[in-house]
Amino acid sequence: MSRGILTPQRWALALLSAALLAACGQEPAPTAAPEAASSAKLSADAIRAKVANVDEAAIVAADPSNWLTHGRTYDEQRHSPLAQINADNVGELGLAWYWDTGTTRGLEATPIVVDGVMFTTGTWSTVFAHDARTGELLWKYDPEVPREWGVYACCDVVNRGVAAWKGRIYVGTLDGRLVALDAGTGQPDWSVQTTPKDRPYTITGAPRVVDGKVIIGNGGSEYGVRGFITAYDADTGDQAWRFYTVPGNPDDPIEGEHLKAAMSSWRGGEWWKVGGGGTVWDSMAYDPDLNLLYIGVGNGAPWNRHIRSPGGGDNLYLSSIVAINPDDGSLVWHYQTTPGDSWDYTATQHMILTELEVKGERRKVIMQAPKNGFFYVLDRETGEFLSAEAYVPITWASHVDPETGRPVENPGAAYAEKPALTMPAPYGGHNWHPMTYSPSTNLVYIPALDLPFMYGQDNAFRYNPATWNTGVEFALTIPPDSITEEVALRAMVKGHLAAWDPVAQREVWRVQHSGSWNGGLLSTSGDLLFQGRADGMFAAYQASTGALLWETPVHTGIIAAPVTWAVDGEQYVTVVAGWGGAFGVASGIPAQDGNVIRGGRILTYKLGATGTLPTPPMPEALPTPPPMTASADTVDQGELLYHQNCSVCHGGGAVSSGVLPDLRYMSEQTHQIFQGIVLGGAYKEKGMVSFSHVLDSDGAEAIHAYLIKRGHDAMEERRLLAEQSQSDSAPAGG
């Protein structure tokens, strides 16, 4: 716990790690969103009739005017053949409409577009239907997720979108329900609880519909759950099958042949008490010809294998790509990217299907850039390993053995004896932000993260169902005292956009971004690549070269992936903008870059449009903290308690991104009722639950003292920054 050994590098890690955790519920009440100009409003019957046509044949036919499933097509390429907007004319792209969600938390959804009607999701699993051409709101569905459930959302109260199928819209809710909505009205037809309510499960991923079954996974490994994925009859909501990704208690009956094979790879320990992990919280792909459903499986619970499975073993099917027969939910093949994972290296990242020429042979492949930093190409019929190379710097392994397909771990990487500075960080070299594959350039585009992390074993680990259960000592990342260092090091957190040749397994070009946690991707046959960035810009790059061709401010960091579609022969591009997510809630990066965070927004562009966004209001004057009266020891104690309990949502060093309140700038009233909020649960309705189960009055007061000190630090930081900007005579470059 000593802060004396902190180095600049350590502090960089602190920043990065700050956002790892997140038991965060707070969000101000929505404000009214402006109504867009409208023509005749679409009737419920008209909307329902459009969605009635969405079935397997329509998804496979993949009319470029529509975006019918999460990845546009079952192969999840996120590439559109549309080329009306192209590298020659993209400079004429303008704002057709925008619609403010009235929320301030992260927005990660990929919109579904069906014949000019757009279905998307916002915070707390809310669903919106819009007239895609005008932005007029057609209906809204709020599943009324209890706000106190937000404390179980590791990575913000986000949702990545809906599925459309035969007249219905399907959404997974943060508290574990799968709800089927009448596409015409947004009224629920049926709803099922897909997760046990006595465990901290959440759903943030988009459902997929395969052969009449709605497939939905869940998350929660950080808190301690057992991963599974379930198929429900799309008409009735009846459960068709459930696939558990990890074995349960060995004394209980086993739920599938594949778990018998997995059991011997878990050795010692009592993993089932923490759950074992292996949640399927995001990515899927489907090959109708092979009749295979591919799922990406997450990290172990707890993260640290020395605690989870002290006798060693690969711990199947953690961190694996798994192929399932969607008829009955049986395992067909698996490939484990990180055997015995101890680093939160999920394989839940986006998976793309295509055909590639590998060693002179045409192969049906599946491709993934999971968190662990290697880009994988596998044969998707058999699961055979074809190739893997590092797409970001990797310190935990030297390479993947081409004979065995197993990574070769570096000594000490598993941090059992001493802490290990490791790349990638638990955020991964790539997280959930969708990639894209362009059949025009034969390149995969990766929204990559440049982040390290200090892993260390938590020797005092004890399972506590109310908190994170990683077995990793997060207090290693307490930030330093020097404000000058803090200002300098915050600039080290980066991300980039990589164009990757999956056959040669090498980077062809990259665009280095100033911040990390940039948006997902869309490629088009117009030689274009669209990406929103953490710095609040929406941009188009030339897919073949990476040249920046167009960009426009949206006044909030973008993390979601754009889509493109057409109505009446006119091509549009839509992106959902709203800073947040795991990194966003706690990193503080865009705020530091002067980004303006003003809430969530759906934006749609077309050639020649001339719409404009309102000028963002000036930031409010920051309140002055009360005088520092506590002793240095109390402040130190408060710093430790803060990083154990609060930093996951409110930021390392109490530097918030603006998604959740920045506690350095608490109002006078908040200071007055601090104990009532932290211990009394005064803001429970906003998602800030009572922490009286882990803190007493002295502890809360120590945290308060630390936050007052950080308020004074922030004043000093602003003074230093003001001095710097005065002494800079030249304009800022890049």
CB of 18 to Ca ion, least distance (A): 16
Q: 3-state DSSP helix/strand/coil percent for the chain, to nearest 5?
A: 20, 30, 50
Burial of 19 (0-12, 13-18, 19+ CB in 10 A): buried
Nearer to Ca ion, 184 or 275 (CB): 275
Footprint on residues 70-89 left by Ca ion (CB under 5 A): none
Residue 445, amino acid: Y
For residues 231 and 284, is the Cβ–Cβ distance under 8 A? no
Nearer to Ca ion, 18 or 529 (CB): 18
CB of 136 to Ca ion, least distance (A): 38
CB of 279 to Ca ion, least distance (A): 8
Nearer to Ca ion, 299 or 637 (CB): 299
Residue 453, amino acid: F
DSSP 315: -
Q: Which three-class secondary structure state does DSSP give residue 460?
A: coil
For residues 117 and 138, is the Cβ–Cβ distance under 8 A? yes
Peptide bond into 437 cis (omega under 30): no
Report in angstroms the alpha-carbon separations of 695 from 197, 393, 702.
25, 39, 10
For residues 307 and 266, is the Cβ–Cβ distance under 8 A? no
CB of 348 to Ca ion, least distance (A): 8
Query: Of 55, 39, 41, 45, nearest to 185 (Cα)?
Result: 45
d(CA 106, CA 320): 27
Nearer to Ca ion, 159 or 299 (CB): 299
d(CA 706, CA 695): 15
- Taking residues 338 to 357 in sequence order and writing x for each that binds Ca ion by CB under 5 A, - otherwise, the string is ------x-------------
CB of 308 to Ca ion, least distance (A): 13
d(CA 244, CA 280): 10
CB of 117 to Ca ion, least distance (A): 34
End-to-end CA distance of the chain: 38
Nearer to Ca ion, 153 or 543 (CB): 153
Query: Of 81, 191, 107, 197, nearest to 149 (Cα)?
Result: 197
Q: In Å, how far from its chain's centre is CA 335? A: 23
Nearer to Ca ion, 221 or 524 (CB): 221
Pairing of the two strands 385-390 and 397-400: unpaired
CB of 160 to Ca ion, least distance (A): 15
- Known catalytic membership, residue 344: yes
Nearer to Ca ion, 141 or 432 (CB): 432
Nearer to Ca ion, 21 or 397 (CB): 21
Q: Which helix (H) or strand (E) holds 698?
A: helix 697-727
Give the active site residue among 341, 344, 535, 662: 344
Query: Of 556, 681, 716, 594, nearest to 101 (Cα)?
Result: 556
CB of 288 to Ca ion, least distance (A): 30
For residues 148 and 25, is the Cβ–Cβ distance under 8 A? yes
Dihedral of alpha carbons 355, 361, 367, 373, sign:
negative
Q: What does the buried/exposed string (b/e) look like for 392-419 if buried means 16 or more CB atoms within 10 Å of the residue's CB?
A: bebebbeebeeeebebeeeeebbbeeee
d(CA 431, CA 204): 14
Nearer to Ca ion, 299 or 518 (CB): 299
CB of 19 to Ca ion, least distance (A): 12
CB of 24 to Ca ion, least distance (A): 15
Nearer to Ca ion, 86 or 431 (CB): 431
How many chain residues are in contact with Ca ion, going by CB under 5 A? 2
Query: Of 583, 585, 525, 514, nearest to 551 (Cα)?
Result: 514
Stretch that binds Ca ion, among 158-166, 337-345, 382-390, 429-437 (CB under 5 A): 337-345
Q: Which three-class secondary structure state does DSSP give residue 254?
A: coil
For residues 495 and 516, is the Cβ–Cβ distance under 8 A? yes
Please state, as a whole number, how many other Cβ atoms lie within 10 Å of the Cβ of residue 201.
28
Footprint on residues 277-306 left by Ca ion (CB under 5 A): 299
For residues 110 and 160, is the Cβ–Cβ distance under 8 A? yes
Catalytic annotation, residues: 344
List residues binding Ca ion (CB under 5 A): 299, 344
